[in-house]
Amino acid sequence: MTTAVIVFPGTNCEQDTEYALNMVGLDAELVWHRDTDLSGADSVVLPGGFAHGDYLRTGAIARFSPIMKEVERLAATDVPVLGICNGFQVLCEAGILGGALVANQDLKFICKPVTVRVASTDSVLTAAATVGQVLRIPLNSYEGNYITQDSPLQNGDDHVILRYCDTDGSLTAAANPNGSAHAIAGIANSRGNVAGLMPHPERAIESILGSADGRVLFESFAASVSAVKA
Amino acid sequence: MTVQETPAHIQLGMTDAEYTDVTDLLGREPRPAELAMYSVMWSEHCSYKSSRIHLGRFNSNQPWVVVGPGENAGVVDLGDGWLAALRIESHNHPSFVEPHQGAATGVGGILRDIFTMGARPIGVWDAIRFGPLEETRNRYLLEGVVSGIAGYGNAVGVPTLGGEVEFADRFSKNPLVNVMALGILRQDQLVLSAASGEGNLAILLGNATGKDGIGGASILASASFEEGDEEKRPSVQVGDPFEEKKLIEACLELYDKGLVVAIQDLGAAGISCATSETAGNGGMGMDVDIDAVHLREPGMTPGEILMSESQERMLAIVQPDNVDEVLSIASRWEIDASTIGNVTAGPALRVYSQGTLVAEVPAASLADDAPKYDRPSLRPGYLDEVWGQEPQIPEDLDAAHVLGRLLDDPAIGDRSWISSQYDHMLFLNTVVEPGHDGSLLRIKGTAKGMAVSTDGDSLRTYLDPRRGAARIVFESALNVAVTGARPYALVDNLNFGNPENPEVMWQLIEAIEGMAWACEEIDVPVVGGNVSLYNQTDGTDIYPAPVVGMLGFCDPMPDQPPRLDRAEDGMSIWVIGQEPNGDFAASAYDRIINASLGGRPLDVDGDMARRVIAATATLAYEMPVLHDISSGGLAVALAEIAFKSGVGFTLDELPHRDLFDETPLRVIAVGPGHSLDTLVPHRRIGTFTGDVLDFSTAGSISLDDARTIWSNALPNRMH
């Protein structure tokens, strides 16, 4: 069994994601968006990039890619499903997670390390972290501004797992890089098996890259995969 | 009265003499499609006709050079089967006419040059020049160029890892947009452009051919600008990074499976260039069926199809047995492909439309028989005048005041307004990111590292083209050396004015001499280059702006490469290299404080350059911080370290002028202890500590105040 890393035309973080999954002991397999079978997968990651060029709207075309039926099927079970950046946008567009991601507040692409605070450990992405833990992880997006009608998104179907914060963990306006509602950087579904986040934890997987803080998130994911298997 | 119609060749940017050459070569009048092909292929942009005889001065002979100038990109050997491909290109004129698309397609074009060689592109660097940001239009151009680079580079999935920016009046109506790209590949993946094998097929991959960019190379890139040239907008191409991303992946898979004999990207002059170059390079010919080209719109003439510069297209030469597999890989990656020709024994390139021969020319003649001009050159009259205007620098300075003004300069202030719009982390190779002297990339699975820096200095080059250009080379060498890399290969982009002006030709020839000499002094081969002439608007030539892209290489890479954010309280500050020697010509001080440009830049000692560069690369394995002293001198360089590290400094008493002196070949080293083990001259000048930038008798400024000025320099002007 492997972690299926879904590749749409225009996806570009698939190899980085595979690299990070391998570092925490998971076998990754790149799966093309036209494939229709994920029966060999015990977990799924939708990596970052520009699926279908982000044309029309981020994720708007990708949600209709053939593989998405399988992703939806697995998301409804206990299988861990993770969307990173563009993958998060696709999960929201497909209705697997709630809310939507729109253009950054200042209408500019943002590529820089940000700090996020763990808001909940009830997810495949944060299970091994601790609430309040501050992680330094790069952000890399134009449509990273999370909006939702569910306010404050705590007790509904989905829940917040990561929020943008200062280096000391405070939630300030200045620490919210893109205008996201409630400083939301990542959410999970009610059962916690589906998680999405805008920052790129695979870019913070080794200290030589500036931070290894993303590792705890991948370790959470790996542990969740093992837990489901067991 | 009769209206005299302008002859077709003049409309296409060709001179009467060049037209006569074509008729002599063919032995007849050219057909319309043939004239179209020659007009583009013999344009300045494609043929380098004004510069070619001088480019031979560059030396590319070093044992590690695998492919030198002439192919789509230079290739060097990194050992253990690893190769690096590098190339630089300009997209100056298109970026003035339409900044977003002009810059975007510049990125797309340079990436194709890299993956044409079989390499995966892993980084892009941008050297950009604009007029002062006080003018609205220059802000619009900067905003558009940056958004174009970001929009294309981020989406195509190649990180933008650095670059440089300069602002000066003469770029107001002629901005410069130079893009360098780097790729890596395994030795057995190297692909060249020369077609071989009679009967092999030519398959056009990628975007449909449309009417965009027709005449881009001849009409836009090879002519000066005048009022009303917005009408040239249809000559600018339109980029589609999504199409390019699919094309990259498809081509890399074709190489991986050994399915192509040769491949050529379609850039300037589109199909006419790609078919003639691949056939001509291989000493072959080609028959092309123009009707087989997949088109975006109906009703295009054969000439338009041949000249179109529609983006994201490649021409692969494939053995007949492999055609089905190539088409199936293209289809899997969701790109279009059509078989448009076959390789013949040659030497003719024959183009058919509706069964009729529309062009028949010797394939190699389009490239090889292009005119070469030995244009007259003349030492410019302005030199004596500017050399007489020695910069006036007082002996007693208020360093806080001067530094504050320098930090507020948009070319010195924090450039993260630009770099944070670029994805500079993709592929998990970025060890030292933009905002440092040079960026450093690892090659995963090895101990090897590659550092890159792009550098230009148009004002200093204007004051002395030979010395200015030489200094760019040494500066770029130091910028990679501070990461631990030794300078390994260089590509150059020669941006100059109108070559028909003898003073511009003199600048060009002198700059080539300076760069070639400097490269030889430090054993760096020149593996490729680009020449952009006619950078002139309304009769004013730009400042001569040669730009270099330096690749540095280290094996092993330092475990902890120096970074600007690694200075700590209590660490000593040394300056290694030359003693400051009163070098203020084209300095930031003269430009910003005196609002003047004059004097003659100092000459550089080649032996000292070699020693300082080598010593710097060695120190990179032990020092936490190394930083080249350049624009703004010692004070600015130290301030940058303080901002990134979050700690102030206290300097010993120095002659005040030394703080802003721009004598080259000087590097700041920061580290623990009180002694430095290096073979080049060095001096301890102070300590990092506290939260004040303390210049002793020259005054002081708080770290936070100085950083605020530096951080806001660019954003304040752009909002």
- Residue B91 catalytic? yes
Instruction: Find chain B residues with C-beta within 8 A of A32's C-beta.
Output: 332
Residue B2, pLDDT > 70, answer no
What pLDDT, on the 0 to 100 scale, is given for residue A155?
A: 45
pLDDT of residue B304: 87
Say what the pLDDT of residue B234 is: 56
- Identify the three-state secondary structure at position B321: helix
What is the model's pLDDT at position B13? 86
B590-626: pLDDT as tens digits: 999 999 999 999 999 999 999 999 999 999 999 999 9
Does A53 lie at the interface with B, CB-CB under 8 angstroms? yes
Smallest CA–CA distance from B245 into chain A, residue: A10
* A208 contact residues in B (CB cutoff 8 A): 431, 442
pLDDT tens track for B240-262: 999 999 999 999 999 999 999 99
Q: Which of A111, A112, A114 to mutate to test the interface with B (most CBs of B within 10 A)?
A: A111
Q: In the predicted model, what is the mean pLDDT of residues B403-421?
A: 97
- The region, left, alpha or beta by phi > 0 then psi within -120 to 50, assigned to residue B340 is alpha
Instruction: Return the CATH number of A2-229, one of 3.30.930.10, 3.40.50.1820, 3.40.50.880, 2.30.30.220.
Output: 3.40.50.880
Question: Strands B700-702 and B692-694: what pairing?
Answer: antiparallel
pLDDT at B297: 87
Please name the residue of chain B whose CA is at the shortest distance from the CA of residue A55: B242
Contact A73/B at CB under 8 A = no
Q: Does B422 touch chain A (CB under 8 A)?
A: yes
Q: Give whole-number Cα distances, A136 to A114, A172, A176, B624, in Å.
A: 6, 16, 13, 22
Q: Are B421 and A111 inside 8 Å of each other by CB?
A: yes
Look at residues B33, B343, B55 and name the one whose alpha carbon lies nearest to residue B196.
B343
Task: Tell me the C-alpha distance between B151 and A84, whole Å.
Answer: 20
**pTM for the model:** 0.95
Q: Which of A141-145, B346-350, B500-504 has the lowest mean pLDDT?
A: B346-350
Strands (E), B249-401: 262-265, 285-289, 313-318, 337-344, 348-353, 356-362
Q: Which among A12, A138, A203 has CB closest to B245?
A: A12
A78 to chain B nearest CA, in Å? 31
pLDDT of residue B273: 87
Domain ranges of chain A: 2-229
Please check the confidence at residue B89 and state whether its pLDDT lies above 60: yes
Q: Find the catalytic residue in A85, A92, A159, A165.
A: A85
pLDDT at position B1 is: 46
Query: Average of pLDDT values for B342-361?
Result: 93
Question: Average pLDDT in the B201-229 region?
Answer: 72
Residue B238: predicted pLDDT: 78
Q: How far is CA A139 from CA A85, A160, B17, B565, in A?
A: 8, 17, 57, 20
pLDDT (mean) for A59-65: 92
The 10s digit of each residue's pLDDT in B118-175 is: 999 999 999 999 999 999 999 999 999 999 999 999 999 999 999 999 999 999 989 9
Q: How far apart are CA B53 and CA B5, in angstroms?
A: 35
Q: In this complex, which of B245, B332, B421 lies closest to A108 when CB atoms are compared?
A: B421
Q: What is the pLDDT of residues A83-108, one digit of tens each?
A: 999 999 999 999 999 999 999 999 99
Cβ neighbourhood burial of B43 (10 Å; 0-12, 13-18, 19+): buried
Query: Angle between the B502-521 and B465-481 helix axes, to the nearest 10 degrees?
Result: 40
Structure tokens at A8: 């749409």
Question: Which residue(s) pair with B394 in the sheet?
Answer: none
Band of residue B3 on the pLDDT scale cut at 50, 70, 90: low
Domains annotated for chain B, with CATH where assigned, are 7-42+191-368 (3.90.650.10), 393-413+562-719 (3.90.650.10)
How many alpha carbons lie under 13 Å from residue B365 in its C-beta half-sphere? 20
User: Of B9, B91, B100, B424, which is the active-site residue?
Assistant: B91
CB distance A109–B422 less than 8 Å? Answer: yes
Report residue B4's pLDDT band, with 50, 70 and 90 as the boundaries.
low
Q: Cα(first)–Cα(last) distance of chain A, in Å?
A: 13
Q: Give the A window 123-162 contacts with B, CB below 8 Å.
A: 138, 140, 142
Q: How many CA atoms lie within 13 A of B159 on its CB side?
A: 27
The nearest CA of chain B is from the CA of A58 a distance in Å of: 12
B309 or A124: which leads in pLDDT: A124
Percentage of chain B lying above the pLDDT 70 cut:
96
pLDDT for position A154? 47
Give the gap in angstroms from C-alpha A217 to the nearest C-alpha of chain B: 17
Q: Is A200 a catalytic residue?
A: yes
- Measured between beta carbons, the chain A residues lying within 8 angstroms of B240 are 53
Nearest-CA distance B181 → chain A (Å):
18
Query: Which residue does chain B place closest to A7, by CA atoms?
Result: B333
Q: Mind listing the pLDDT tens digit for each residue in A130-150?
A: 999 999 999 999 999 999 886
For residues B231 and B675, the model is more confident at B675
In this complex, do B428 and A205 lie within 8 Å of one another by their Cβ atoms? yes
- B45 as an active site residue: the answer is yes
User: Distance, in angstroms, between B72 CA and closest chain A CA?
Assistant: 24
Question: Which two tokens mark A29?
Answer: 């397999």
Chosen for mutation from A208, A213, A215, A218 (greatest number of chain B CBs closer than 10 Å) is A208
B609-620 burial, b for 16+ CB within 10 Å, e for fewer?
Answer: bbbbbbbbbbbb
A152 to chain B nearest CA, in Å? Answer: 30
Interface of A with B in 10-39 (CB under 8 A): 10, 12-13, 15-16, 19, 32
